[in-house]
Amino acid sequence: MRIDGQPLRVAVVAPIMVRRDAISLAVRDTMRFLSKKAGFEAIHLGHACEYPEIAHRQRNTSGELLLDPSYYAADAAVFHFGIHHGLFDALLGGGPRTRIVRFHNVTPPHLVRPVDIPVVERSLRQIEILRRADEIWADSPSNAEYLLERGFDPDKIRVIPLVVEDPACSSLAEKAKDHISVLFVGRIAPSKGIHDLIKAIARASAVRKMLRVTIAGNMHWSDPAYVRELQSLVGEHHLESVVSFTGTIDDVERDRLFRDAHIVAIPSYHEGFCRPVAEGFRAGCVPLVYDAYNLPHIANRLGCVVPTGDVEALAAGLSKLVLAQLDGMAKPDDPVLPLDRGPTSVHEFDHLAQQWVQEFTFERIAARTRERLLRLAGRETLDLTAIPA
């Protein structure tokens, strides 16, 4: 496929690539895009990699990176930035002629635990280094807007979403019709607003008996003190029969939870992309979200968006959505779902949701990533669409 017959050598720089971590999934996907079959030769350079099938070399500092033959001899480097790390200081030095940053954004200091504020503040300062990149790929329009507000060159910024290829596609019309399952999936931390969700459930007394609410989160990346606070909140409002915590789950259990859920509730105060909403669409779940950062965009007017931090509005949105879903499941062609786009039938929602998630397919994002890399590195392909995924 390559005119010059030589693979494009790419160093993918990211502190970690571990399982069940959102940024790590994006790093893994970048490595998958840049396969040998597609005409690339890629290696991950970073502190840790839990994927034995991926070419990896441990590098912990910018000095180690700059001295690594795979880095300075590469045609291009792709940095995945989401939190401060010394590896990113290599952008101040030499290395590949083409340097790109995948920008995942940083949670603001006021939304993290006091103990995490120093590393967040360092992360926000380190963002300035990203100006040295030839191009920045923002995961979402909100991430791109954040960089523009900081005065970054708009000609260097492109929005390339993340891949969302799980769970298997299913539909709202196929789900249980005698109750409504609500699912939260993600890191259990104060910025995710799970405390607001529990309080909203307590206020939604008219529909509480119809609800089954599941909170699923990787305990390794979650805040133990916050988990205990949430469990106390459930007890305080006598919601033990309604709300359950799964703890860490595997992919099979995650897919089952999405398949059973009618609503994916993400009342988060900050989301640079929000993979669970896109995953929910694949599984036929209607999103109930706050209007923070990228949540309105990823919800795409196919859910219910309420003001951030407004528990009363969250409770009202939940109640309205539950009653409408119960009605709509019985009459799937009637436009009864109160979505932001207007009244929508269950069958129409299923069609529009599956249409929207095509924006996040592996094939689509791989093609855009490869095209930008080849263009920036001064390489061409005969037929980009013919490159195997």
pLDDT in tens, 253-290: 999 999 999 999 999 999 999 999 999 999 999 999 99
> pLDDT tens digit string along 66-94?
999 999 999 999 999 999 999 999 999 98
Burial category of 333 from C-beta neighbours within 10 Å (exposed 0-12, middle 13-18, buried 19 and up): exposed
The topology under which CATH files domain 172-359 is: Rossmann fold (3.40.50)
- Per-residue tokens: 295: 């949540």
What fold does the segment set 8-163+361-380 form as a domain? Rossmann fold (3.40.50)
Residues 84 and 99: their CA atoms lie apart, in Å, by 18
| pLDDT at residue 324 is higher than 50 | yes
Report residue 123's pLDDT band, with 50, 70 and 90 as the boundaries.
very high
Q: Answer yes or no: is pLDDT of 375 > 80.
A: yes
Asked if 103 and 130 count as a contact pair (C-beta separation under 8 A), the reply is yes
Please, what's the largest Cα pairwise distance for the chain?
68
245's enclosing H/E stretch is strand 243-247
Q: What pLDDT, on the 0 to 100 scale, is given for residue 4?
A: 57
- pTM for the structure as a whole: 0.92
Pairing of strands 342-344, 337-339: antiparallel
What residue ranges of the chain are covered by domains with CATH 3.40.50.2000?
8-163+361-380, 172-359
148-203 confidence digits (pLDDT tens): 999 999 999 999 999 999 999 999 999 999 999 999 999 899 999 999 999 999 99
What are the Cα distances from residue 287, in Å, to 12, 65, 112, 303, 315? 33, 41, 24, 5, 14
Predicted pLDDT of residue 366: 97
Q: How far apart (Å, rounded) are the C-alpha atoms in residues 185 and 285? A: 12
